[in-house]
Amino acid sequence: MDSKPFFSIIVPAHNAAGHINKCLDSIKMQTFQDYELIIVADNCSDDTAKIALGYTDRLLITWYGRDGLARNDGIDAAQGEWILFLDDDDWWIHEYVLERLHHYATHTDADLLPFQFIWPNDAHGRYYWDHANYGINIAPWSKMYRRSFIGDTRFSDKERTSDEAFAYGLIDKIERGEGKYYFIHELYYYYNYMRPGSQTWEDKQK
């Protein structure tokens, strides 16, 4: 009997002790429970790892200082058929996210399924691309991936281009006919765009 989980949820976390609970609680509250949670505590000097162990025993400790490389370790450790990413300061907006994603995973033949997310900076409170790149936003947390489709595609070690390298590597596979995508017009994710202390916040202060 195959005991592997349906989803692998990967959360890269850096000094997230002050805010990661909301992220992890949004996973814990899901009605669909066939998942493994992999938290990658990267370059942390606070209680992130201790908090993480209250939610999962799949804790990885790394010292990259790069969330892309931390995600790579999560991918390498994942056993689920499908992979999802969640940033440590973001959250899923309701308890049916995994249930809905399971529905689409089992009712389409897609390998990559982008979905909508709330972006507080956007005037309408939601955001997605539907005019380029097949509607695929480059943010790794804005979609779910069949693990076999990811294959050996990985994030780069370049801080500012890591997400692009991963997203466009998968888009190239679609263009070569090596995978299919299906866009889900449903809202699942809250992108905590301007949390004080985040990289986006720091960039805006410069």
Phi-psi domain of 79 (left: phi exceeds 0; alpha: psi -120 through 50; beta: other): alpha
Q: Where do we find the tokens 């089992």?
A: 106
Q: Report the pLDDT averaged over residues 170-196.
A: 88
- Check residue 199 and give its pLDDT: 55
Residue 175 confidence (pLDDT) above 70:
yes
- Check residue 120 and give its pLDDT: 75
**Predicted confidence band of residue 195 (pLDDT cuts 50, 70, 90):** low
Mean pLDDT in the chain? 89
- In this structure, of 75-79, 126-130, 188-192, the range with the lowest mean pLDDT score is 126-130
Q: Report the pLDDT averaged over residues 16-45.
A: 98
Burial of 28 per CB tally in 10 Å (0-12, 13-18, 19+): middle
Widest CA span in the chain: 55
The answer for residues whose C-beta is within 8 angstroms of residue 18's C-beta and 6 or more apart is 46
Whether 161 and 150 have beta carbons less than 8 Å apart is answered as no
- In this structure, of 5-9, 71-75, 180-184, the range with the lowest mean pLDDT score is 180-184
Name the residue with higher pLDDT: 179 or 205. 179
Q: Report the pLDDT averaged over residues 130-155.
A: 84
- In this structure, of 13-17, 124-128, 180-184, 196-200, the range with the lowest mean pLDDT score is 124-128
The whole-angstrom separation of Cα 101 and Cα 83 is 11
In the chain, where the domains are located: 7-205
Note the pTM of the prediction, 2 decimals.
0.91
**Predicted confidence band of residue 185 (pLDDT cuts 50, 70, 90):** confident
Q: Kindly report the CATH number that applies to the domain delimited by 7-205.
A: 3.90.550.10
Measured from the Cβ of residue 180, the count of other Cβ atoms closer than 10 Å reads 15
- Check residue 22 and give its pLDDT: 97
- Check residue 90 and give its pLDDT: 96
- Check residue 194 and give its pLDDT: 62
Residue 130 confidence (pLDDT) above 90:
no
Sign of CA dihedral 36, 37, 43, 46: negative
- Check residue 158 and give its pLDDT: 82
**Predicted confidence band of residue 204 (pLDDT cuts 50, 70, 90):** very low
Q: Report the pLDDT averaged over residues 29-44.
A: 98
